[in-house]
Every structure is written in structure tokens, then in C-alpha cells.
């Protein structure tokens, strides 16, 4: 018996409404919604035959690919719960994650055979395929960024993804003949959000191209792209005029330099900024990049409490995965404290930084993100992270890790740039190259340790 409040599978719904419309387009092949639905059912049945237990958790080493989309959806259709992880996650780290959270199964790559871990009972396979999902039951987990410590696993319901997609489409319309590039990883809520928006709107995901490849975007008639600052920078630097005719460039993952946004606007790219987090299944608020007029998206609520951003709503995850159970993360009124500092004014959210990133230097509060924003405004700086380092006189002093363009930039130039724009106590006392993070968010805790180790080296 299907509970009355259960959410129907969005792929099944898309098949019923648009059976012959394209669902996935990539070089060399394409799937209609009917074809994708069949592929997901076949994969789900195969996983059940391999012993995928109903209600159990399975880790999937994920790639941003058609096979990755099929496997993620198939695990749910088989009645299990999916935890997508980066294909680049080191094996010892993955094994620790599986053991800590009691993950029963693992799939080493999309399309590969299910392996049983022994960390939890494998369970009995479901007797049928699942096409309805309870809003109070977890279906998937996603690791938080862990930028200030060990990542946690946010447990999402199917309803979280559906409401996230519906609210996003309400502000930034999406409908045929639009096409959305699958430009973000499928082990992040950003990538999964694209999948659900396309299923909800009946438009195809374009797979196999890069957001900075203007030729690909034009050839496959992409209309919508989600990006982070680095991807936008590469698109603008790598493409001549005219740029592809995009209807929406949705930016997230942190602040974007004003200079970059102004160039994008001048070259005809309609850019929108977004604020979101893993716990809220991606977007919470969206606004035009260079001015206000944005809003909190439907099915979400946001308020500022003592400068801290707090959120709640239908997109808020069920809690954090804790050794096989889901631990709640809200207060009695359903609010989640994000740890982000900011304010909402005139349809625009300004995020100052993380409460737990703030440190004191000589009695002065320093928000490292304020220094990072100034550094990113420098035309030669691609990325910057500022962390505290112990100091006998001041307690702590700021240290900067910077990624520049092809040519090395002297620390004296960066120091002068910051001094001209911020108070003296906010000028970093040492400068180091920012280590490559492999496309993942930099973990500040690791950079703090690195800064201490590099203390005796010349800045």
C-alpha cells in the first residue's frame, strides 16, 4: 500500500508526460525519458539480484556521467539508500567512512557489481521496484564540505530533492526546449540538483562537456549552466566573442569577484548568484549577480539571528547520518544554524564568512573571508584562503595561501594590495602557494596545520 503522502518517482512521472523527449544528451548517444526509465529499472533489478538489501546504505564511487545518473537513481528504485562519493577519494578514507557509518554495500564505479562490506547486515532485497518515496525516510546521503573539520553525512529524503528542484525552477524557469549542462559533481548536492530540475521540468541533461568549453556549449545548444567562480573565469578567458547564448548561469560555491561578474555581464552572460548548503539540498536564495531583486526560494525559510544565517523548510535534510541512524540537527522550532554570518537586504544576501573561521589577533576580530574577498579582486589571483597562525605577541596572525595565474606574483605586491584596502592588522604576515585540492573545497584545518609547518620558511 502506497502512503498517501508518498512522493512519486520523478523519472516515472517524466516518462508518463514526455516519453519520447530527450532526457540525456551526450556525444555519441542519447536517452529519452522512456529509455532512461527502462535503463534505471534494468540496473535496479540487477542490483537486487546481486543482493542489494532494501533500506540499506550503499556507497557509490561516482563519476559525472550517464552511468552515474543511472546508478544513483537505480539504487533508490531498488529500495536502498545511496551515498555517492568522489571517485578520487583515497581508499583508506572510504573504508573508514564505510565502517564509521555502517554502510552495507559499495559499488566501485557506476555500472560495476555490488560489493558487500561486512560493516552492516546486507538485508533482504525488495520484492519489487520502488516508484514512491516517503518524505520522512532517507533515500540518499551527501558529505558536507568539511572545510573546517571532518565532513558529516547529510541524510536527504526524496521530498528534499523534489522541493529543491521545484523552488529553483519557480525563480529561474526551466522548460523545453531548454538544456541543462551536467556541470557539477554528482557526489555534491549541486550536481544532484541539476538532475532533479531536469526530471521535474522535462528537459534534457547534457553530459560529457565542460562548462568552460564554449564550443561544446554552443554545439549542444546548452541554455542553463551551474558554475563556481573558477569555471566562469575559465569560460571567459578561453572563449572569444560571441559567447554561447545562455539563458542562465547559476553561480554558487562561494563569492565571485565583482570584476569577473561585470565582464560576464558585458559579454552577455545572464549570471545569478545563489546561497545554498548541503543540509538544505542546495539553493536557499537566488538573486541577479550584480544587483538585488532576488528572493528566498519556495519551500525554504531564512532569517538572520545575531548575524548568523538560520534556515528551515521542506528542503532541509532529515539530519546527519550517525552509525546507521539519522541524528536531528534542528532546534525545537525546526531552525538549523548554518554557522554562516551575513545579512539579507533588498533582495540580496551578503555572506561575511563562517562564525567558526573568525579569530582574534591582538584583540581585533578577523574574519578571514573579508581578506579573501579583497585578494580575489586582484586580477592575477585565482583563489585565496586565509587562516590563522599562532603568534607569541598577537595570539594569532593571518596567513594567506594563494593561487595566481601562470606567472608568480611577488608577495610584496599582494601585501600592498591588501594594505591599501583593509586595516593593517588584516594584512597577512606570510604568503604561500595554495595546494591543489583536486576540484574539492579546501579544508581550512589542513591549511592551518600546513601554515604552522611552514613557519620557519621565508614568506
pLDDT category of residue 456 using cuts at 50, 70 and 90:
low
Q: Which three cell numbers stand for residue 119?
A: 560493516
Strand order from edge to edge, sheet including 336-345: 300-305, 308-313, 336-345, 348-354
Residue 283 sits in the same domain as residue 381: no
**Three-state SS sequence of the chain:** CCCCCCEECHHHHHHHHCCCCEEEEECCEEEEHHHHHHHHHHHHHHHHHCCCCCCCEEEEEECCCHHHHHHHHHHHHCCCEEEEEECCCCHHHHHHHHHHHCCCEEECCCCCCCEECCCCCCCCCCCCCCCEECCCCEEEEEECCCCCCCCCEEEEEHHHHHHHHHHHHHHCCCCCCCCEECCCCCCCHHHHHHHHHHHHHCCCEECCCCCCCHHHHHHCCCCEEEECHHHHHHHHHHCCCCCCCCCEEEECCCCCCHHHHHHHHHCCCCEEEEEEEHHHCEEEEEEECCCCCCEECCCEEEEEECCEEEEEECCCCCEEEECCEEECCCCCCCCEEEEEEEEEECCEEEEEEEHHHCEEECCEEECHHHHHHHHHCCCCEEEEEEEEEEECCCEEEEEEEEEECCCCCCHHHHHHHHHCCCCHHHCCCEEEECCCCCCCCCCHHHHHHHHHHCCCCCC
- Identify the pLDDT of residue 457: 64
Are residues 331 and 376 both part of a single domain?
no
Q: Are 281 and 369 found together in one domain?
A: no
Domain assignment present for 139? no
Whole-number Cα distances in Å, 264 to 224, 314, 377? 15, 33, 15
Could you read off the pLDDT of 71-100 as tens digits, one per residue? 999 999 999 999 999 998 889 889 999 999
What pLDDT is attached to residue 1? 44
What's the pLDDT tens digit per position in 92-143? 889 999 999 999 999 999 999 999 999 999 999 998 999 999 999 999 999 9
Same domain, 107 and 226: no
Specify the pLDDT at position 54.
95
Q: Show the 3-state SS of 149-184.
A: CCCCEEEEEHHHHHHHHHHHHHHCCCCCCCCEECCC
Co-location of 372 and 262 in the same domain: no
Q: Does a structural domain hold residue 147?
A: no
Q: Is 351 a member of any domain? A: yes
| Residue pLDDT, tens place only, 219-230 | 999 999 999 888
Predicted confidence (pLDDT) at residue 447 exceeds the cutoff of 50:
yes
pLDDT reading at 352 higher than 50 = yes
Q: Which of 355, 389, 408 is the last residue of a domain?
A: 355
pLDDT digits (tens, 9 = 90+) for 296-325: 999 999 999 999 999 999 999 999 998 888
Per-residue pLDDT reduced to its tens digit, 278-300:
999 999 999 999 987 789 999 99
280 shares its domain with 318: yes
Q: Percent of the chain, pLDDT > 70?
A: 95
* pLDDT: which is higher, 270 or 410: 270
Compute the mean pLDDT over every residue in the chain, rounded to the nearest whole number. Answer: 92
| 366, 348: one domain | no
Residues 441 and 346 grouped into a single domain: no
Residue pair 314/160 in contact (Cβ under 8 Å)? The answer is yes
pLDDT at 256 (0 to 100): 84
Of 134, 153, 173, the residue at which a domain comes to its end is 134
Q: What is the CATH number of the domain that holds 381?
A: 3.30.300.30
- Confidence bin at 400 (pLDDT 50/70/90): very high
- Give the domain extent around 434: 358-456
- Entry pTM: 0.85
User: Mean pLDDT throughout 243-259?
Assistant: 90
| Whether residue 190 sits in one domain with residue 118 | no
* Least confident stretch, 162-166, 253-257, 270-274: 253-257
Tell me if 29 is assigned to some domain.
Answer: yes
Neighbouring CB atoms inside 10 A of 204's CB total 28
Q: Is there a single domain that holds both residue 169 and residue 310?
A: yes
Q: Is residue 156 part of a domain?
A: no
CATH code at position 99: 3.40.50.980
Residue 379: how many CB atoms within 10 A of its CB? 9
Which pLDDT score, from 0 to 100, does residue 148 have? Answer: 47
**Residue 399's pLDDT band (boundaries 50, 70, 90)?**
very high
Is 144 among the domain residues?
A: no
- Structural domain contains residue 201: yes
Boundary of a domain, candidates 307, 335, 355: 355
Angstrom distances, CA of residue 441 to CA of 182, 372, 384, 434, 447? 19, 15, 12, 12, 12
Domain count, the chain: 3
Q: At what angle do helices 66-77 and 33-49 cross, to 10 degrees?
A: 60
Q: Does 146 reside within a domain?
A: no
Q: Average of pLDDT values for 354-378? A: 88
Query: Do 218 and 85 share a domain, yes or no?
Result: no
Q: Are residues 189 and 293 in the same domain?
A: yes
Decide the pairing of beta strands 57-62 and 105-107.
parallel
Kindly report the CATH number assigned to the domain that includes residue 280.
3.40.50.12780
Amino acid at each position: 500500500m502506497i502512503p498517501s503522502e508518498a512522493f512519486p518517482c520523478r523519472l516515472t512521472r517524466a516518462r508518463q508526460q514526455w516519453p519520447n523527449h530527450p532526457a540525456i544528451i551526450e556525444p555519441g548517444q542519447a536517452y529519452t525519458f522512456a529509455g532512461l526509465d527502462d535503463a534505471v529499472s534494468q540496473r535496479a533489478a540487477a542490483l537486487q539480484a546481486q543482493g542489494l538489501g532494501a533500506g540499506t546504505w550503499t556507497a557509490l564511487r561516482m563519476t559525472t556521467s550517464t552511468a552515474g545518473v543511472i546508478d544513483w537513481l537505480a539504487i533508490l528504485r531498488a529500495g536502498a539508500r545511496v551515498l555517492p562519493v568522489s571517485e578520487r577519494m583515497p581508499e583508506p578514507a572510504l573504508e573508514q567512512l564505510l565502517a564509521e557509518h555502517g554502510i552495507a554495500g559499495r559499488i566501485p564505479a557506476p555500472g560495476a557489481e555490488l560489493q558487500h562490506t561486512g560493516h552492516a547486515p546486507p538485508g533482504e532485497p525488495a520484492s519489487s521496484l520502488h516508484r514512491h518515496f516517503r518524505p520522512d525516510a532517507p533515500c540518499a546521503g551527501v558529505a558536507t564540505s568539511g572545510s573546517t573539520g571532518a565532513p558529516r553525512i547529510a541524510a536527504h529524503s526524496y521530498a528534499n530533492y523534489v522541493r529543491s528542484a521545484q523552488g529553483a525552477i519557480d525563480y529561474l524557469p526551466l522548460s523545453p526546449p531548454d538544456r541543462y549542462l551536467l556541470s557539477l559533481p554528482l557526489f555534491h548536492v549541486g550536481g544532484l540538483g541539476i538532475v532533479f530540475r531536469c526530471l521535474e521540468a522535462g528537459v534534457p541533461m547534457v553530459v560529457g562537456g565542460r562548462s568552460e568549453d564554449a564550443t561544446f556549449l554552443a554545439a549542444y545548444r546548452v541554455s542553463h549552466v551551474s558554475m563556481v567562480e573558477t569555471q566562469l573565469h575559465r569560460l571567459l578567458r578561453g572563449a572569444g566573442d560571441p559567447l554561447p547564448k545562455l539563458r542562465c548561469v547559476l553561480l554558487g560555491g562561494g563569492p565571485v569577484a565583482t570584476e569577473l561578474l561585470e565582464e560576464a555581464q558585458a559579454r552577455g552572460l545572464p549570471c545569478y548568484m545563489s546561497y545554498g548548503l548541503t543540509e538544505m539540498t542546495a539553493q536557499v536564495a537566488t538573486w541577479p549577480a550584480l544587483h538585488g531583486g532576488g528572493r528566498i526560494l519556495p519551500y525554504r525559510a531564512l532569517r538572520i539571528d545575531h548575524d548568523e544565517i538560520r534556515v528551515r523548510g521542506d528542503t532541509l535534510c532529515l539530519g546527519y547520518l550517525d552509525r546507521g541512524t539519522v541524528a536531528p540537527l534542528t532546534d525545537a522550532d525546526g531552525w538549523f544554524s548554518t554557522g554562516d554570518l551575513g545579512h539579507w537586504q533588498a533582495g540580496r544576501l551578503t555572506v561575511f564568512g563562517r562564525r567558526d573561521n573568525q579569530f582574534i589577533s591582538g584583540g581585533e576580530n578577523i574574519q578571514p573571508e573579508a581578506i579573501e574577498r579583497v585578494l580575489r579582486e586582484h586580477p592575477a589571483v585565482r583563489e585565496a584562503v586565509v587562516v590563522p597562525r599562532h603568534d607569541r605577541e598577537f595570539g594569532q596572525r593571518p596567513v594567506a595561501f594563494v593561487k595566481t595565474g601562470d606567472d608568480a606574483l611577488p608577495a610584496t605586491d599582494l601585501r600592498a594590495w591588501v594594505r591599501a584596502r583593509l586595516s593593517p592588522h588584516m594584512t597577512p604576515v606570510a604568503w604561500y602557494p595554495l595546494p591543489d585540492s583536486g576540484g574539492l573545497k579546501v579544508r581550512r584545518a589542513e591549511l592551518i596545520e600546513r601554515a604552522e609547518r611552514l613557519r620557519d620558511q621565508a614568506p
